[in-house]
Amino acid sequence: MCGPNSTLGENVYIASSEAHMGYRFVQCSRCGEIYAISISNETYMDSSCLDELSCATCRCRLAESLHDYPEQYLKKDGTIGLLDIYSIDIDDEHSVLRDFYQLL
């Protein structure tokens, strides 16, 4: 799985409910890389297993750089934006298929 830093252009990905497939998303607040976390794996694994992982793109420690996504997202200017995902209509016209790194 791989993905470019497309959120740096402030394209924010929102998964449709059927596309969630039991995953939630987090983002590296330094470079904008997006990761998927299996909710069932997260439930049964100690979150300290993230401590040793570094970002695939910028190599920073993920334990210190992750935030929930897309409710929070990295903006072009390097600050964190807030998004009310329930205020957005998801339409097929702008839908894309994209792979993400999976952390857990």
Distance CA 27, CA 80 (A): 11
Position 17, amino acid: S
> Is 62 near Zn ion (CB under 5 A)?
no
The tokens for 31 are: 């470079």
Q: Residues 25, 30, 36, 74: which binds Zn ion (CB under 5 A)?
A: 30
> Is 34 near Zn ion (CB under 5 A)?
no
Instruction: For the CB of residue 27, give the shortest distance to Zn ion in the complex, in Å.
Output: 9
Complex with Zn ion: residue 19 or 80, whichever CB lies closer:
80
Q: Answer whether 66's CB lies under 8 Å from 47's CB.
A: no
The tokens for 87 are: 């205020």
> Is 55 near Zn ion (CB under 5 A)?
yes
> Is 28 near Zn ion (CB under 5 A)?
yes
Stretch that binds Zn ion, among 12-20, 21-29, 38-46, 93-101 (CB under 5 A): 21-29
Task: Decide the pairing of beta strands 23-28 and 34-38.
Answer: antiparallel
Helix (H) or strand (E) holding 30: none
- Which positions lie near Zn ion, rule CB under 5 A? 28, 30-31, 33, 55, 57-58
